[in-house]
Amino acid sequence: MALKKSDLYSSLWSSADELRGSMDASQYKDYVLTLLFVKYVSDKAKADPYALIDVPDDGSFDYLVTLKGKSDVGEKVNVAIRKLAEANDLQGVINNADFDDPTKLGSGKDLQDKVSNLIGIFQDMDFTGSKAEGDDLLGDAYEYLMRHFATQSGKSKGQFYTPAEVSRVMAQLLQIPAGTPKSTTVYDPTCGSGSLLIKVADAAPNGLTIYGQENDNATWALARMNMILHGNETHEIVQGNTLADPKFRDGDRLATFDYLVANPPFSWKTWKNGFDETYDRFEGYAWPPDKNGDYAFLLHMVKSLKSTGRGVVVLPHGVLFRGNTEATIRTALIKRGLIKAIVGLPPNLFYGTGIPACLIVLEKRDSSSRTGIFMIDASKGFEKDGPKNRLRPRDMHKIVDSFMNQKEIDRYSRMVPLAEISDVKNDYNLNIPRYIDSSAPEDIQDLHAHLRGGIPNRDLEALQPYWDAFPSLRAGLFRPLRDGYSQLTVDKADVQGKVTDSNEYQAFAKGTADIVDAWWADKRKLFVDITSSTSAANLIHDVSEALLEAFRPRPLIDEYGVYEQLMSYWNASMHDDVALIVSEGWDGAAKPRPARTWKDKNNKPKYEDAHIVTGSRATAKRWVMDLVPPEYVISRFFPKEKAALAQLIVEQEIASQALEEYIDEHAVEDGLIWEAVENDKITRSLAAARLRVAKREGADADEVQGLQQVIKLYDAGAAAKKAVKEATAKLDNQALQQYAKLTPDDIRALVIDDKWGGTVRSRIEAESAALVQSLVARLQVLGKRYESTVGELVEQAEEFSMKVSLHLAAMGVKP
């Protein structure tokens, strides 16, 4: 069975759990990533005798498995990994973690168990097919670990990682043509863990030749492993300080590259330490400030680009507007036409800092004829992800679309002429808010409306896109009150019904559904034809871009919001489904499988969550349906049985509610069944015991009847519960047997139409419904705001004041 992305992530993070507490994330990541690397290259070597990594028998992961439980497991793991490193010139790269270090892993049995458990977590993973046709499961898992390690490493130790979403945007902004040969070069002078370089290479269909330099030795080792894990074995990643000792040189000049990306350390105060002036990196520019290295890195990058080169760099917003020598450098860069675009990013995206950053797009080609800089204010587009913010698929796509098409969007993007930037009022200041006002329009309170009533037409005209989509709706909701003001003709509470019941909205909703249906029907064959050679990345690109284009001309609905609905489902579930089909085939992926089992630290059995459990206790069989959960099989093949079960569940709920209400009414002090209550609780057995006593003692007839009634209600609830349980078990068995009868067409219909199609449709419907909720909410706010004039409020206040005075007088209180 193919390894699902979510299962892989869970297993990898559980490996970190073995170490958490004894060391911080910046240390334990070395252990987890080292074992991940050894497992990956070992599986690849077994599957491919021509693999570029040589795995000796006593340096393989299989050999590590034989060491589990041995008293000297830590020492022998170190030896094995060192042999693997020596066989591939990876000394200092993969053998930095000491698996026999008692200060980090404990001593004696503690160390023995931790290392053995770590090996065991990786033991059942199979990476032989982890990189299939551009769909990099292992690479994604590595990114997952890096992101989590960066999150937990704290402010000073998370800078080795550029968030994957930012990396993807940067890669797209480079605009690498489809036919670009692999010999084309890309360079990152501060490459960290190498993830940014990998994203750029992945954006080129034929790949790129990768060069990178990283100052920190441990992070350089991460980058080397990262390259190999992503299938970029022929990289050149070197260790050293780029400013003090640039490793890529052409004689006494810096080597130049076709493309460049970088996320250098922000505002590095000690950048001048050891700086080598040999390479004239600041020639023609002012010298950067002694205590801030932002422009030192930027000018190094400019110098490292070929005459036709293009680059994207992440820098703090301060580089756009700081004065003195930085202003002089910025002015020179603008005058030379080297800055093509600037993208303002949301705050708190990066690990190690919460300050907002920007992307600066550099381009030397046609720099002399550049007449403007394209600016994008993307600072508002993000989602919260734990302690950090994160770009969503919609945010990434909107940035790239706007840049690629030079599309001007109100409050978001515009081409700013150099004449405006150089104007005396701006003086080459590139602070984005000078040129793009992305703030929300002010919600102005209308004094005349408060005094005389009515809703300002100005507020209604701000909703013009809705009136354009629903031409008669405004007239159906409002009537003119006086010049410039209107009045609601329905109660505020009835606004939603008036909108959703209108023929125009119904037609709009149907039109939206028709677009989705047409798009899905057009792309359905792509899903039907999924085989072992399908690229999941190419598949979702084709499908999602078609959806985006289908909704671009649609009024009101944000095409990027619709795109987000598809992509969030893809990332959460659909991608795993496609990967499973690619690996196992449609038939294999649809077969029920036994739930996975394992032992916890107390040697007790643990079970994976199952969709269907047959039998009980020792004889129980637990089944998991990864691709086709049983609810879809039941809905398609057993609709009558499903409806009957639903009715039984309703009856159970009614019985339960009747019992609850009866107890609430009569299990109170002096109530009919109060004598059966113990410790503020009543059960059937307590009621039965009290009934026997009551009969024996000749208790009040009402109490006897009350006890009999509550017992009857308990029995009715138990019978209803039993009926539901039996019907559920019967339906589960019917569904389980149905899997063996499913034809290839059945499986595709269940997955493509019922599961994927149904989910995507409901998500897009929710996106459309949210638009209406936004309109309704705004109209209700306006209606409430101006429903009472100031005069009416004064009269109400005076009336309430009079009532209070009368009440006080009646109580003998003098005002």
Taken in order 565, 568, 569, 575, is the CA torsion positive or negative? Answer: positive
Contacts 24+ apart (CB under 8 A), 784-787: 784/492, 785/445, 785/449, 786/446, 786/449, 786/450, 786/453, 786/454, 786/455, 786/456, 787/453, 787/492
Q: Collapsing DSSP states into helix, strand and coil, what is residue 452?
A: helix
Q: What is the DSSP letter of 705?
A: H
Two tokens at 282?
A: 């600041």
Q: Which of 176, 54, 68, 47 is nearest to 115 (CA)?
A: 68
What is the distance of C-alpha 321 from the center of its chain? 32
- Mean pLDDT by runs of 10 across the 815 residues of the chain is 64 62 63 85 82 88 93 94 91 88 87 86 72 49 66 51 89 95 96 90 92 90 83 86 94 94 92 89 93 95 96 96 96 97 94 86 95 96 88 96 95 96 96 92 87 92 93 93 93 91 93 96 97 91 96 93 96 91 92 83 77 86 94 97 97 96 93 91 94 90 93 96 96 96 97 97 92 92 86 72 76 71
For Cα atoms 84, 27, 117, give the angle at the middle one, nearest 5 degrees.
65
The DSSP-derived string for 231-261 is T-TT-EEEES-TTTS-S-EETTEE--EEEEE
In 106-130, which positions are buried (b, 16+ CB within 10 angstroms) versus exposed (e)?
Answer: beeeebbbbbbbbbbbbeebebebb
Distances, alpha carbon 224 to alpha carbons 88, 118, 315, in Å:
12, 22, 25
Q: How far apart are CA 755 and CA 299, in angstroms?
A: 52
- Give residues with Cβ within 8 angstroms of 350, minimum separation 6: 159, 162, 163, 166, 263, 314, 357
Side chain identity at residue 545, one-letter code = E
Taking alpha carbons only, the member of 184, 180, 169 closest to residue 361 is 169
Q: CA–CA separation, 555 vs 371, rounded Å?
A: 33
* Alpha-helical regions (H) of 667-757: 684-697, 701-739, 744-748
* Residue 568 CB partners (closer than 8 Å, separation 6+): 392, 393, 763
CA 160 to chain centre: 20
Dihedral of the alpha carbons of 800, 802, 805, 809, in degrees to the nearest 10: -130
Would you tell me how many other CB atoms lie within 10 Å of the CB of residue 700? Answer: 11
| Separation in Å, CA 254 to CA 245, 249, 277, 510, 557 | 11, 4, 11, 61, 50
The CATH classification number of 1-154 equals: 1.20.1260.30
Q: Which residues are within 8 A (CB) of 409 and not within 5 positions of it... i.e. 6 or more apart?
A: 402
Residue 12, CA distances (Å) to 16, 130, 158 in order: 7, 15, 19
- The answer to whether residues 570 and 584 touch, using CB atoms and an 8 Å cutoff, is no
Residue 312 CA to residue 171 CA, distance in Å, equals 8
Q: If we measure between CA atoms, which residue out of 604, 583, 637, 598 comes closest to residue 749?
A: 637
User: Nearest-CA neighbor of 141 among 14, 234, 314, 25?
Assistant: 14
Q: What is the pLDDT, as a whole number, of residue 225? A: 83
The amino acid sitting at 162 is: T
Residue 306's pLDDT is: 96
Distances (CA, A) of 527 to 248, 524, 540, 542: 46, 5, 10, 11
**Per the structure block, which two tokens stand in for 498?**
């008036």
3-state secondary structure 615-630: CCHHHCEEEECCCCCH
Per-residue tokens: 646: 């639903």
What's the rounded Cα separation, in Å, for the pair 390 and 151? 12
